[in-house]
Amino acid sequence: MTELPTHQLYLTELPVGVLTLLANDNAITGIRFGRIENETLNSVPNDLLLEAAHQLSQYFAGNLDQFDLPLAPSGTEFQRRVWDQLCAIPFGETRSYGALANAIGNPNAARAIGMANNRNPIPILIPCHRVVGANGAMVGYAGGLNIKQALLKLEGVLD
């Protein structure tokens, strides 16, 4: 039996509230809005978690528009393809679900794209907040539409 990597968590207070950052020894594996409690996680932050918190602070201060962190989201092959497309959306821009479906070569997959967005384990770093409805409408976000709007305002997409 192989031993699973140790996961660590770190709480950081940012303008959108408390975020719980999760990582293994090699990559960021999750971000949760709010606090999570789990006895199996080690709460002593490693250097990677501290760097993620620093980069997030710089992003919210308006000093960083691209993250440089190793990410290891857990998901299906389809979800990972969608998340790769999300990472390709530049800071300050948005894409529709349909545009993402076209980008992965499956123009009929807009709903599946929405489900993959919903399951994104590393929001903000994998910028699912940059996905909007076909008419530019603010639709669904795990952290709530108010946080999605705050992120898009920070990036200059909204006034």
Q: Rounded CA gap, 4 and 51, in Å?
A: 23
> Are 134 and 96 contacting, i.e. CB atoms less than 8 angstroms apart?
yes
Reference 23, options 35, 36, 11, 6; nearest CA is 6
Tokens representing residue 38 in the block = 């789990």
Residues 59, 63, 68, 72, Cα dihedral to 10°: 0
Q: Which of 16, 21, 100, 128 is catalytic?
A: 128
Q: Is 87 a catalytic residue?
A: no
CA-based angle 58:115:21, to the nearest 5? Answer: 30
- According to DSSP, residue 82 is labeled H
Catalytic center residues:
128
